[in-house]
Structure 1
C-alpha cells in the first residue's frame, strides 16, 4: 500500500505537469479539492467518427495509487464497442497497469482506443458486431452520437 503522502506528491506533480504542458487534444483538472478525483476532456481523434467532439472523462484515483490503477469512466455518451452506455471502459485499457504509468498515459490509451476500437474485447457486443460487419453504419451512428452528446 502506498503511503498517502507519496501518493499525494505524485498526483500533485502529475496534475501540475499536465496543466503546464497539456497534450494538444486534451486537458485535466481536479474536481473540488480532492487530488483523488479528476476530470479530463479529450478531443475526438482526427479521422475517427469522434472527430469534432469533446468527451469528458471522470477519473477516480484509489488511495493506494500508483500501485492500483484509477477507475475511469466516460461522462459523455459515446457509441463505441469497448465503452458501455454507462461510460464504463473495457478493463483491457487498465489491465496493462504498472506504477510507472501516469494518469496522462491512461488518457492517451483511451484516446487511442477511440481511434482503434477493439471489437474482439467488446463491452457492447452489438456495436462490436456492427463495427466488424458494417463499418459505414457504425461510423454514421458514432458521428451522430458525437454530434448529439460530445459538444
Structure 2
C-alpha cells in the first residue's frame, strides 16, 4: 500500500510540482526522499535554498512522513536538529494529505511563523517583540547557509549571457 501511494505521489509531483519546491527519492529508496525548497520571496528566507529530508513510514499514508530540514534555519517552529513544528506532520495528519501539500505548508510556515506554538521559544519571543531583529537574523542565517547560491547563480547568468 505505502509504496504504491508513494509512487503515485512522485508521479503527481513530477507532473505538477508545487511552486518553489522539488522532491524525489534518494537513490532507489522510495521511502527516503530529499526535497528542495526555495526561500519564499516575501520572507527573510528569500534567496535561500533549503534541503529537506523526508522519510515515509511503512504504514504511510496512515501515519505522517518524518520531515526535517537539513539546512540550518532561524525560525521559531524549526529547531537546530531540523525538526519542524507543524500540526499536519503530527496530530492533524490525514491520509488525504500529500507530500506536495506538506511542502506547500512548510513554505507557508517560512513566510508566516506560528510563534504561539514554538519549537524554539527564544526565537518566538524575538519574533513577537523585535520583528526587525528576527528578520535580519533569519536573513543572515539564510545567507550563511547558502554561501554559494549567489555565486552559482551569477556564474550561470554570465554563462547564459555569453552564449
Do both proteins adopt the same fold according to a TM-score greater than 0.5, normalized to the shorter chain? yes
TM-score by length of 2: 0.86
Q: Deviation per CA, 1:5-40: give whole Å up to 9, x if none.
A: x21111111111112221230100101211110100
Give the structure 1 partner of residue 74 of structure 2: 79
Give the structure 2 partner of residue 3 of structure 1: none
TM-score by length of 1: 0.93
Structure 2, unaligned runs of 5 or more: 150-163
Structure 1, unaligned runs of 5 or more: 1-5
The count of corresponding residues between Structure 1 and Structure 2 is 146
Give the structure 1 partner of residue 40 of structure 2: 45
Give the structure 1 partner of residue 16 of structure 2: 21
Tell me how far 1:96 sits from its aligned partner.
1.4
Q: Deviation per CA, 1:83-120: give whole Å up to 9, x if none.
A: 00110111524231101111111111111110100000
**Residue pair 2:17, 2:100 contacting (<8 A) in 1 also:** no
After TM superposition, what 4+ stretches of structure 1 lie above 3 angstroms from structure 2?
Answer: none
Give the structure 2 partner of residue 126 of structure 1: 122
| Superposition CA RMSD, Å | 1.1
Question: Which deviates further from its counterpart, 17-26 or 73-82?
Answer: 17-26
Give the structure 1 partner of residue 84 of structure 2: 89
Give the structure 1 partner of residue 152 of structure 2: none
1:142 aligns with 2:132: no
Specify the SS of the correspondent of 1:130: helix
The structure with more radius of gyration: 2
Give the structure 2 partner of residue 116 of structure 1: 112
